Amino acid sequence: MSDLGEELRVSIGAFVRQVRQLATMPAGQAAVLGHLDRGGDRSIAELARLEEVKHQSMARTVGLLVEAGLAELGSAPHDRRQVVVATTALGRDRLGEQRRARAAWIEDRLAALDAEERDLLARVPGLLRKLSGP
């Protein structure tokens, strides 16, 4: 079974690299916008923890997003002294465009598979979620 682990690592890595080539923004910035889109406004410290980077690195990433008009800084509703990061309409649009482009690329590749292969792949997302943990 250890060969399966290595084969999955290599094939998933190759797949992810292919899909990342469609990126229209740096991966770190897209990841931050994704966290904000899924989880709502967050502090820079929360984003740094989620991405497992230093606060300073996340502050730089957030600064670039703000500068590009993709995110904005505001006050936390429960504590006006705390700064939180939120996506802008432009940020949500850019993230959506990127997600749609990636999904379309994958759909295009799926069309080349036969029905049995597509049925098998339909089980993969759930299995990968199981492997990823709770």
Per-residue model confidence as pLDDT tens digits over 9-36: 999 999 999 998 988 899 999 999 999 9
pTM above 0.85, yes or no: no
Q: Lowest mean pLDDT of 4-8, 33-37, 50-54, 109-113, name the range.
A: 4-8
Confidence of residue 78 (pLDDT cuts 50, 70, 90): confident
Q: Under 8 Å CB-to-CB from 24, ≥6 apart: which residues?
A: 94, 97, 98, 101
**Of 30, 39, 42, 35, residue with least CA distance to 74:** 42
CB-based contacts of 89-94 (< 8 A; 24+ apart in sequence)? 91/33, 91/36, 91/65, 92/33, 92/37, 94/24, 94/25, 94/33, 94/70
What CATH number does the domain located at 26-132 have? 1.10.10.10
pLDDT at 130: 92
Residue-wise pLDDT tens digits, 107-132: 999 999 999 999 999 999 999 999 88
Q: Under 8 Å CB-to-CB from 74, ≥6 apart: which residues?
A: 41, 83, 84, 85, 86
